[in-house]
Amino acid sequence: MGQATRIEISISEQRLRYWENGALVIDVSVSTAKNGAGEQSGSECTPRGEHIIRAKIGGGCAPGTVFVGRRPTGEIYSRELGERFPGRDWILTRILWLSGCEPGRNRLGAVDSMRRYIYLHGTPDHVVLGTPGSRGCVRMRNSDIVALFDRVPAGTPVTITD
């Protein structure tokens, strides 16, 4: 079944599965884009196809660390903070930044996943997973993104399917 170490994300199932040495190690509920699947810049859709983890951001940060522009803001997410900034797209705890591998589909030009800032990242604990709700990224429980982050090297293949 493909590479020994890989991540598979199913948009239809709203699940992420991580395989290590051919064995399923992590199988968790996620939330992909509210707007569905799509690769176009500005669409707020989750891109399909073959990707790799281009960068790992936030190692050692406390769970709930708030990121803006891939940098910790110094804030730790709380319900009160969420209520103060209701429109914010909360990117928490860790970021695994994806880069597309298929020119014309999810790499280069108006379909470039990396330039679209497509991440696997943590989300507030009260956010419902298992149903589409993001702005294109793949939202995960904070504990799940930490577990995944700690196991995967940069360069790990990520396949996103309908």
CATH of the domain at 144: 2.40.440.10
Asked if residue 1 belongs to a domain, the reply is no
Please state whether beta strands 6-10 and 157-161 pair in parallel, antiparallel, or not at all (unpaired).
parallel
Domain that holds residue 148: 6-161
As a whole number of angstroms, the distance between CA 93 and CA 158 comes to: 20
As a whole number of angstroms, the distance between CA 30 and CA 17 comes to: 10
Tally of domains within the chain? 1
Burial class (CB in 10 A: 0-12, 13-18, 19+), 17: middle
Q: What tens digit of pLDDT does each residue of 1-45 get?
A: 456 899 999 999 999 999 999 999 999 999 999 999 999 999 999
pTM here? 0.96
Q: Which residues neighbour 48 within 8 Å (Cβ) at sequence distance 6 or greater? A: 11, 37, 39, 105, 106, 160, 161, 162
